[in-house]
A and B are shown apart, each in its own frame.
Chain A
Amino acid sequence: MTTALDDQATLGPVPDGFESWEVEQFLYREARYADESDYDAWEALWTDDALYWVPVASTDDPLRTMSVIYDNRSRIATRLKQVRTGKRYAQAPPSNLRRLVSNIEFLGGRANSSGGVDLEVAANFLVLESRARGTQLWGGRTTYRLRRQDGDLRLAYKKVVLVNNDQPIPTLGFLI
């Protein structure tokens, strides 16, 4: 599924200044913050123009059709504020989580709204989630856009395409 938002035809060459070791370490760190429900550290990774998107198979335009998650920076903040109350019951108590991130591919460069070029990188993932409801295996492919800001890598975009996003899925309360 490709939309105007992530059209591969508009992707440029891989921009300079992104070393694979540093990028991999960033992706693993982001995964660990999510696994450990370290909401402050996870939130600090995002840029101001962030987009966190978990589409369903039938979504072709996230502005006109439903996605599981389609959060801009402000809604990411709201989502995290809610879970920090400790009364976000879908995640209280929090899930026990560990995920594997693999098959990391540098896809290219994508022009961003501040005149720079973000690195677009993709990876496969598996997450094992354990909670009272039972154990759930989640899997799919993530596309990230990374930007260098004040010397550090930041996350501008994370699109998570679940392999079973054409089927009913259980409550997704954790950060995927």
Chain B
Amino acid sequence: MTSLIEPAAATGGPYDRLIRQDKVHGSMYTDPAIFAEELRKIWYRTWVFVGHESEVPQPNDYVRKRLGLQDVIMTRDRDGEVHLLLNRCAHRGNQVCDDAGGNSSTFRCPYHGWTFRNNGDLVGFPFFKGYGQRKLDLNLGRVPRMETYHGFVFGSFAADGPGLVEHLGAAAGEIDRLARLSPEGQVELTAGWLQHQTRANWKLLAENETDGYHPQFVHGSIFGVTGSPIGALYSDSSTAVTRDLGHGHSENDLRPEFRKFAEPMRWFGTSEDRVPNYVAAMRDRYGEEADKIMIEGGPHVMIFPNLFIAEIQVFNIQPVSVGECIQNSTAVQMVGAPELNQRMVSQCMGSVGPAGMLLADDTEMYERNQAGLECLTPEWLDIRRGLKREQVDENGFTIGGATDETGMRGFWSQYKTLMEAQS
């Protein structure tokens, strides 16, 4: 068929033809060549969320992770330093680690017995005479850059470039907001991960995370039977805003709605008398600011390309192929808030994962969306909602209404910048 992609649009970079301010071409979700290019230009270049330091609390702890398609071992060495090692023996490429996690100072390849320290250094190899020497400069691969923010571990395969704090930009403040919900100012991800296989392109998920238009429709079934007030936060009359935080990050800022009620812990679906020890600990720590923190609640922020923090739960979106990804999800745990943590696990389990009463329905939408995109006309996905009513807030960020597609437009702007960058 003749493509309807407008030739007149192809005046700028190569992705101008496919990514417009108000629409995105369907091939962005279905073309394997674009997925391969994304691996090089996004997943193996920009800062990508990998895990949390609290997953490896003790010296020599390790957990298996993924960064893009690459198998990564997140380790803590005996001196307490965290490393992101690539699970590939420097000899013949076999995997040196075959379990999900544990505690070990070394990894021994089962193929020929090469052994590596948990900082990646080659310790030794059998039958050294074959090499004429006892030492070889063949270490495990490492993710070239690793940085953490409030314990959230990010990796970048670009040897140099913007630092993590620069990449996070305004989204760093959202992670700060999350940490401030702990009376000790620290969050942990120690509740383990659900792994939800999703037959859809990863970008459908990234776009949906701050889409305030869908909840009343996709989640109407659960809001209705539980009498949840969440639906109203994402209505046409909501005072919440969708904010483009820059660098592809976006948030649904629900604080205007929670401020209207000014009830501590309403954001968490409870009241202060139900969690008295937590509330006391918060007031002890934050003084006059505590009530504001407990009224405004946690962030609802999508951090480009794969970290989504939804108040009490954290998602790590992991691409598999052009038509498949994995959603890893867990409950946030607040250091110094035992009263809250068990509730967080319970609420989170009800919502997320393969049987979650929210996320299983989102996932059904992602998968039907991917199937729908096999139809080749109309060629575009529309992202114009709210374009004509966008404003700039007091900090210079573009904001839209609670149900507007401002976040998606921010995502695609960053995506295009990275895909068009010269390597």
Contacts and interface: CB of A to CB of B under 8 A. Distances in A.
Nearest to A175: B355
Given A58-B193, A68-B354, A90 B364 contact: yes
Interface in A50-89: 54, 56-59, 63-70, 75, 78-79, 81-83, 85-89
Contact of B354 (A75, A85, A89, A172): A172
B355 A54 contact: yes
B367 interface: yes
A56 B330 CA distance: 12
Interface of A: 54, 56-59, 63-70, 75, 78-79, 81-83, 85-90, 132-133, 166-173
B194 A66 contact: yes
Interface stretch (B24-32, B222-230, B274-282, B283-291): B222-230
B331 A170 contact: no
Residue of A63, A65, A70 with most chain B CB atoms under a 10 A cut-off: A65
A89 B218 contact: yes
Contact of A66 (B199, B222, B342, B353): B353
B103 interface: no
Contact of B355 (A59, A65, A68, A166): A68
8 contacts: A65-B190, A78-B357, A83-B221, A85-B225, A87-B220, A89-B218, A168-B197, A170-B354
Interface in B344-399: 345-346, 348-350, 353-355, 357, 360-361, 363-365, 367-368, 371
Contact of B363 (A54, A63, A90, A166): A90
A56 B361 contact: no
B207 to A, nearest CB: 18
B197 A56 contact: no
Contacts of B348: 66
Interface of B: 100-101, 190-199, 218, 220-222, 224-226, 326, 329-331, 341-342, 345-346, 348-350, 353-355, 357, 360-361, 363-365, 367-368, 371
A40 to B, nearest CB: 15
Contacts of B326: 168
Contacts of A169: 195-197, 354
A85 B221 contact: yes
A68 B341 contact: no
A70 B360 contact: no
B357 to A, nearest CB: 6
Contact of B191 (A57, A64, A171): A64
Contacts of A89: 218, 221, 361, 364-365
B58 to A, nearest CB: 16
A69 B209 CA distance: 23
Given A64-B191, A87-B220, A89-B221, 17 more contacts: A56-B195, A63-B342, A64-B345, A66-B193, A67-B349, A70-B349, A78-B357, A82-B221, A82-B222, A85-B225, A87-B221, A88-B221, A90-B360, A133-B367, A169-B354, A171-B355, A171-B360
Contacts of A81: 225
Contacts of A170: 196-199, 354
A34 to B, nearest CB: 13
A68 B357 contact: no
Contact of A171 (B195, B196, B330, B331): B196
A119 B250 CA distance: 52
Residue of B345, B354, B363, B367 with most chain A CB atoms under a 10 A cut-off: B354
Contacts of A58: 100-101, 192-193
A41 B367 CA distance: 31
Nearest to B365: A89
B320 to A, nearest CB: 9
Contacts of B196: 168-171
B261 to A, nearest CB: 24
